[in-house]
Chain A
Amino acid sequence: MAVAQAKIDALAARLDALDLPHGGFTRAARAEALARLRATGLPHRRDEYWKYTDPASLIAAAAPAAALFDGQEPPVFDTIDRLRLVFVDGVFDAEASDDPALAGVEICRLAEADAADIHWAKSVYGVLEARGQDPVSRPLAALNTAAATDGVLIRATGRAAKPVSLIYLHKSETSDAILHHCVRVEGGAELTLLENGPAAARFNKVLEVDVAAGGRFHHVRAQGRDHERRAVTHCFARVGEGALFKSFTLTANGQLTRNETVIEIVGDNAVAHVAGAALGDGRHGTFHHDDTVFVTHDAEACESRQVFKKVLKNGATGVFQGKILVKPGAQKTDGYQISQSLLLDDDSQFLAKPELEIYADDVKCSHGSTSGAIDETALFYLRSRGVPLEEARALLVLSFLADAIAEIEDEAIQQEITSRLEGWLARRR
């Protein structure tokens, strides 16, 4: 009871500090999310779903300050031809952004669309988030739906001429950003969404993605290198018949990151892959990275893959909670899940909770989780061929991450991500 009350009290304190937008087309969704939230309260470290990650700093009324990071390397994706949409501490910056006109795509700022009464996003905003609240509640996503102040609505009606790139800049040490994006990929359309940057001292982001029958959606994200930032992100995806959903996240640095991905496969023959590579070095304070994934198969002959890799050192913590739920009737499901960590020292830890729940009899599902050190024999083999120790180590770390990176389809984008990994490793020689 004490815990339940604490969760409600935390919510009251948090809401007090917020100026809730009333919105036009999002009004009903916001009110409904708030009602759900009042019933659950905010997450608590005693909640089963938060047993490996303490949500205290994510739910606190004020964002803990985070020093700005002065990285000297050029921002990721700089070499990719893309449409840039810039957010500074959670506020869209039209000046810094490209003209949002792109063949095959309609782009609209949430804050502006909100004034309108009718919008395609009405069937997405807060809708996929609400569907993702069962069987596990995700109060920080509901809070986001109720309180998001900005974001972007993207509708792909054809093959997008280039990727849409959301760039999140962090310029204030105490910024607290809540962004909510909606994406709809219409039948036969294709879109690549890129995201990069730390966004704010504390960042709460929801991305809802509705991929209609035959649509294809690619998502590649690099979560900024700021050492002190905190982030909780949710991606809610609904994947239709014959559709493709692919998401990859690179996380290097950050004190606390909780990335939840909730995928509902609703059409036959669909494919959904979610992957992540996290590099954590605790020498800058703390590094705690949590990937929480929930994939529901509710159609026949669909394929899902979860591939998560973590490289941890100096007391870094990695968490993976991954579930595959196969509903009755979802025959011929092919579900796969792997979570692995490479511990570069004895201080770091990896906590994993892989789960399968299957209610159909003709399915193929497997999961695995491993945790280990660098293979000393392989290291010696490389060195005996003349490869210096640190270079050999870096090569083995990259090879450990290879399966996750391979989930990025576009070669140029894959190369961008690989070069970031190499940079991270090179700085630690």
Chain B
Amino acid sequence: MLNINNLHVKLEEEDKAILKGVSLDVPAGSVHAIMGPNGSGKSTLSYVLSGRDGYEVTEGSATLEGADLLEMDPEERAAAGLFLAFQYPVEIPGVGNMTFLRTALNAQRKAKGMDEISAGDFLKLVREKAKALKIDADMLKRPVNVGFSGGEKKRNEILQMAVLDPKMCILDETDSGLDVDAMKLVSDGVNALRDAGRSFLVITHYQRLLDHIRPDVVHIMADGRIVKTGGPDLALEVERNGYGDLLAEVG
């Protein structure tokens, strides 16, 4: 599904390398987790994959189902099936949550040559997904993320994911700021979407989330590289011992 090969990224504005040769293969239907110390480049990787300005790829490649992601505009990547749940969801005053969702869904349908969704079907779809995430009607009416609590913003990201139905979902610290119940809701939401045709890349600092969303593979990222890859046990090891031993071990 997602293939990243020897990806090097620096900041556009200054000569600062952030990703220094990331390679990663996420096959269809699998869940990979990335853990790693603050500032190691996890969010940068997610931004570069989704096409945010300000970064320059100096080497390497990234493809989604064989298509070159780095050649596409952000909206084309979304239409190709990529979705990023932001670490810091963005507030957009003046744009209603429903308008935002409908505009996004219809834009993606249009890109795929489909007709716009009818108002009735759209309402039904959103209500159903929102209910599962315990997002109430009032939150749907408000401007995008404005005045939402930290946890509400994260749930709103998962709602967007459920409505847009992407193939490759990147979750950047979706667990941070969630209370225990919300963590369960979000995990259930993610698990409900798991299937053979969809993959997940879950960025997190905590084993807790991975108890709910069982990953197939866990990667450790440090200083712009994947320094270690293993099974779910690797996350437990991090939880117990921190990164010190791990990083010393890989030098």
Contact = CB atoms under 8 A, between A and B. Distances in A.
B226 interface: no
Given A388-B75, A391-B107, A383 B94 contact: no
Interface string B132-160: 00000000000100000000000000001
B107 A384 contact: no
Given A388-B107, A395-B103, A383 B92 contact: no
A386 B78 contact: yes
A350 to B, nearest CB: 19
B13 to A, nearest CB: 13
A50 interface: no
A399 B92 contact: yes
Nearest to A405: B94
A384 B104 CA distance: 9
B215 interface: no
Given A378-B92, A399-B95, A383 B73 contact: yes
Contacts of B86: 381, 384
Interface string B24-64: 00000000000000000000000000111100000000000
A384 B108 CA distance: 11
B104 A396 contact: no
B74 interface: yes
A396 B92 contact: yes
A360 B215 CA distance: 66
A382 B104 contact: yes
A376 to B, nearest CB: 7
Nearest to A399: B94
A377 B111 contact: no
B7 interface: no
Contacts of A377: 90
B95 A383 contact: no
A201 to B, nearest CB: 36
Interface string A368-389: 0000000111101111111111
A383 B111 CA distance: 13
Interface string A328-363: 000000000000000000000000000000000000
B51 A384 contact: yes
Given A386-B75, A387-B107, A378 B90 contact: yes
Residue among A384, A385, A398 facing the most chain B CB atoms (10 A cut-off) = A385
A381 B101 CA distance: 12
Nearest to B92: A378
- In this complex, the interface size class of chain A, counting residues with CB under 8 Å from chain B, is 20 to 34
Given A378-B92, A400-B94, A402-B94, A384 B74 contact: yes
Residue among B50, B53, B93, B94 facing the most chain A CB atoms (10 A cut-off) = B94
B144 to A, nearest CB: 8
B58 to A, nearest CB: 21
A67 B99 CA distance: 39
B90 A381 contact: yes
B100 to A, nearest CB: 7
B78 A385 contact: yes
Contacts of B19: none
A383 B75 CA distance: 5
B95 A389 contact: no
- In this complex, the interface size class of chain B, counting residues with CB under 8 Å from chain A, is 20 to 34
B92 to A, nearest CB: 5
A398 B94 CA distance: 8
B92 A384 contact: no
Given A376-B53, A380-B74, A396-B95, A387 B90 contact: no
A159 B135 CA distance: 43
B164 interface: yes
B155 to A, nearest CB: 16
Contact of A386 (B53, B79, B143): B79
Interface in A376-429: 376-378, 380-389, 391-392, 395-396, 398-400, 402-403
B85 to A, nearest CB: 10
Contacts of B203: none
Contacts of A376: 53
Contacts of B78: 383-386
Contacts of B103: 382, 387, 391, 395
A242 B22 CA distance: 68
B104 A386 contact: yes
Contact of A389 (B75, B84, B108): B75
B93 A383 contact: no
Contacts of B53: 376, 380
A384 to B, nearest CB: 5
A404 to B, nearest CB: 11
Contacts of A385: 78, 100, 104, 107-108, 160, 164
Nearest to A381: B90
Contact of A395 (B77, B95, B164): B95
Contacts of A375: 92
A385 B164 CA distance: 8
B73 A386 contact: no
Residue among A384, A391, A398 facing the most chain B CB atoms (10 A cut-off) = A384
17 contacts: A377-B90, A381-B92, A382-B100, A383-B74, A383-B78, A384-B50, A384-B51, A384-B77, A385-B78, A385-B108, A387-B75, A388-B75, A396-B95, A398-B94, A399-B94, A399-B95, A402-B94
Given A386-B104, A387-B104, A396-B94, 10 more contacts: A378-B90, A381-B86, A383-B73, A384-B52, A384-B74, A387-B107, A389-B73, A389-B75, A398-B94, A403-B94
When A and B form their complex, which 7 residue pairs have the shortest distance between CB atoms, in order from nearest?
Answer: A399-B94, A386-B78, A385-B104, A383-B74, A386-B108, A381-B90, A402-B94
